[in-house]
Chain A
Amino acid sequence: MDPRSRTLKGFGVSPGIAIGKAFLVDARHIPIPFYTLSTDEQVARECARFEEAVTEVERDLETIKQSIHPDLKEQVHILEAHQLILRDRLLYDQTLDLIRRERLNALWALKRSLNKITEIFQSMEDEYVRNRVTDVSSVGERIMNRLAGRKANAFDEIRERVIIVAQDISPADAAQIQLEKTLGFITDMGGRTSHTSIMAGALGIPAIVGAEQATRTIRTGDLLILDGSSGTVVVNPTEEQIGDYYELQDALETYLKEISRKAHLPACTLDGHKINVEANIELLEEVVAAKDHGAEAVGLYRTEFSYMNRRLPPTEEDLYNEYRELAELMAPLPVTMRTLDLGAEKMGRWHPGIEQQNPALGLRAIRLCLHHVDLFKVQLRAILRASAATRNIRLMFPLISGVGELQRSKAILEEVKSELRREGRDFDDKMSVGVMIEVPSAVAVADMLAEEADFFSIGTNDLIQYTLAIDRVNEHVAHLFDPLHPAVLRLIRQVVSTAHKAGIPVTVCGEMAGEPLYVPMLLGLELDSLSMNPQAIPRVKNLLRRAQLSDCRRFVAEALTMRTAAEIREALQDMVLRVFPEEFKFFDPEALQPKYRSSEPYV
């Protein structure tokens, strides 16, 4: 084995495999000279030099904008943002001011301005905003390069097809890269929302970001294998590794194409059992993504968004318009509307937030609605009215903990219906009403709830939290948040069998449903439908088609006899390896680990 061979890990942000030589983008630091200017003449000259450099960069950016690759049209806007940054008072005026007032040379003055701007941005909590520091430094670097008399385009030297390795790639850089010569990207910096990620995704070029050591470890000309699915970079691989990855590359391309081609078809298991695959969404715009990815229904529409950050609660008309549009966009496919699932502490300015020491166990969701019946009625009126035209709306109540709450909620629904009838307004009188199963007490009385509900939807996130008494946002215990805990599986099993006895269907709409590797477990637990974020649908559908219900049932029966989550996880891994070998070939089996490991880096 090549002694220089080694493996690096980053975040795979654009799937696909690239094999080729590395091209390391020159990241040499421009030395900043520290001297002050002694005469007014020198100051004037230095100001002029800075202004000239800015004008040149402005021109460079304009040229890049004109020649941009059509697939990178989105980047034009970012280049425009860069042009604005160039002339922003914090950068432009401040630098000139430092040259004039403190008599700093242009490079030093610019560096000082950049540092100040970076400070402002670094103090922010928002990852996306923090990422914008890279926009500023990219602009700054361009001016510095000009001031230092360096060539504007570092990519001119690329002569063959390469994998580009850089600290970071700005949109302007990207526009200068000859894409036909680019096999992939690897950067030291960046997260899933960085420009490199978005750009690589748009172009379909394999990419890994946040591979911290990349530019320090990799030299130009090193042979690299880049696996954009798992986030692995192999530097100077062995002949055998190269062979393996070539095969994998071929197979993965075929696989991904096939999955998205079939996303619109129903998902039937090998033994002919159909599972509904539905989408969880919270914005109207997401309907498009849901349909594009092959959703057969909206399994969960989170209605909280219209209530947040408002001075006044939304009006019935606001909500009606939103819901009707949603129903029309999805029709004839069903839309499941979850009534307001908000904590009292998040009610916004229209209602003084109540301090709750333990919001998860406090006044929230259906409890809040039953406490503020007026608020609840407005939403129910809007939902009912929206159901009139397309008759494809289903209603569900969140966080029901017992029959009393369900009866009270349904009584209010009936009151609202009579009001509407009196007003002569149309609505779907046969609208199904379901219950979200999220509280262990609801599982215990599931038979009683089933008598009064048209369907169940299991919210696994909350069910796991309440069952295991784990706050998954608490880093000290997050690793214990485990969907495969035997107690959780037993509860799901119990809900499904109770519901089926009563003749009503059950959906899982928690994150567990969108994790492809849980497919055999959920299938074997006899769920009728799975609802997940739209992007997960093609892979889950594909796995459902490759599975055999009878096989999964046997697996679950066996898993339910096991005593620990670890034991179950191991069995599930074996199962998946056997039934879906291609998944393990392409995707990281680590995904089967509990999702919220405390050691997991958040990007």
Chain B
Amino acid sequence: MGWMALADQVAEIEQEFIVTNQLGFHARVAAQIVKTASRFRSDIWLIKDETTVNGKSILDVLSLQCPKGATVKVLTRGEDAEDALKAVAELFQNKFGES
């Protein structure tokens, strides 16, 4: 395996999202993020202001203060980083299933 392939494997990508559902990151939303994140092998981090939390820990996610309107950066790192980010992006786009 060449170094290029290796570099591909540890892909690290990030994207910013705005929390648009009424109540922000509450328990149900956090649960969805964690459940989705846990499906992937990549590390998934949520970053807001100076705080970085593990996207696979519900208490971590809940501890990130994300009211409606907050901007959250999602960073995924690992072999399936792209799919992981896509899956998390979908949650944000669907407003976590809230109207």
Contacts and interface: CB of A to CB of B under 8 A. Distances in A.
Task: Decide whether A and B are members of one complex.
Answer: yes
Interface of A: 74, 77-78, 80-82, 84-85, 88-91, 117, 120-121, 124-126, 128-129, 132, 135-136, 193, 283, 285, 288, 305, 308-311
Given A135-B27, A193-B23, A285-B99, A84 B69 contact: no
Contacts of B22: 283, 285
26 contacts: A77-B28, A78-B31, A80-B28, A81-B58, A84-B30, A84-B34, A88-B58, A88-B60, A90-B57, A90-B60, A117-B59, A124-B65, A128-B23, A128-B67, A132-B26, A132-B62, A136-B59, A283-B20, A285-B99, A305-B69, A308-B69, A309-B18, A309-B69, A309-B71, A310-B18, A310-B71
B70 interface: yes
A193 B22 CA distance: 12
Nearest to A83: B31
A90 B69 CA distance: 28
A6 B28 CA distance: 38
A122 B7 CA distance: 41
Given A77-B31, A90-B57, 18 more contacts: A77-B27, A77-B32, A80-B28, A80-B31, A82-B27, A84-B34, A85-B59, A88-B58, A121-B63, A125-B65, A128-B23, A132-B62, A135-B27, A136-B59, A283-B22, A305-B69, A310-B18, A310-B71
Contacts of A283: 20, 22
Interface string B56-92: 0111101101010111000000000000000000000
Contact of B99 (A125, A132, A135, A288): A288
Interface of B: 16, 18, 20, 22-28, 30-32, 34-35, 54, 57-60, 62-63, 65, 67, 69-71, 95, 98-99
Nearest to A308: B69
Given A129-B62, A129-B65, A84 B71 contact: no
A91 B59 contact: yes
A126 B16 CA distance: 21
A368 to B, nearest CB: 18
Contact of B30 (A81, A120, A121): A81
* Nearest 3 Cβ contacts at the A-B interface: A77-B28, A81-B31, A81-B27
B38 to A, nearest CB: 9
B91 to A, nearest CB: 13
A83 B54 CA distance: 17
Nearest to B27: A81
Contacts of A288: 99
Contacts of B58: 81, 84-85, 88
